[in-house]
Amino acid sequence: MNTKKKPVNVRYMTMTAMLSAIAFVLMMLEFSIPIMPSFIKLDFSELPALIGSFAMGPLSGTVICLIKNLLHLPMSSTGGVGELSNFILGAMFVIPAGLFYKKRKGRKSALIGSLVGAVLMSVVSVASNYFIVYPVYTAFMPMEAIINAYQVILPQADTLLKCLVIFNMPFTFIKGMMNVLITFLVYKHISPIIKGAQER
**Phi, psi values for residue 41, rounded to 5°:** -115, 150
For the chain, the average pLDDT equals 90
For residue 132, give its domain range. Answer: 2-197
- Which residues touch 14 (CB under 8 Å, ≥6 apart)? 197
**Phi, psi values for residue 31, rounded to 5°:** -150, 155
Q: Report how far residue 72's alpha carbon sits from residue 24's, in angstroms, rounded to the nearest whole number.
A: 7
Of 9 and 166, which is predicted with more confidence? 166
Give the pLDDT confidence of 176-195 residue by residue, as tens digits: 999 999 999 998 878 777 76
pTM for this one?
A: 0.88
pLDDT at site 199: 43
pLDDT at site 8: 53
Give the pLDDT confidence of 1-15 residue by residue, as tens digits: 455 555 557 878 899
Give the pLDDT confidence of 46-98 residue by residue, as tens digits: 999 999 999 999 999 999 999 999 999 999 877 888 899 999 999 999 999 99
Q: Mean of the pLDDT values across residues 99-121?
A: 93
Q: Report how far residue 114's alpha carbon sits from residue 98's, in angstroms, rounded to the nearest whole number.
A: 8
pLDDT at site 74: 93
pLDDT at site 57: 92
Q: CATH number, domain at 144?
A: 1.10.1760.20
Q: Report how far residue 172's alpha carbon sits from residue 190's, in angstroms, rounded to the nearest whole number.
A: 26
pLDDT at site 192: 74
What is the number of structural domains in the chain? Answer: 1
pLDDT at site 198: 46
Of 174, 178, 150, the closest CA to residue 164 belongs to 150
Q: Report how far residue 133's alpha carbon sits from residue 86's, in angstroms, rounded to the nearest whole number.
A: 10
Q: Report how far residue 6's alpha carbon sits from residue 197's, in angstroms, rounded to the nearest whole number.
A: 11
Q: Report how far residue 158's alpha carbon sits from residue 148's, in angstroms, rounded to the nearest whole number.
A: 8
Q: Mean of the pLDDT values across residues 128-145?
A: 90
pLDDT range class, residue 200, cuts 50, 70, 90: very low
Q: Report how far residue 20's alpha carbon sits from residue 60's, in angstroms, rounded to the nearest whole number.
A: 10
pLDDT at site 104: 86
**How far is C-alpha 84 from the geometric centre of its chain's CA atoms?**
11
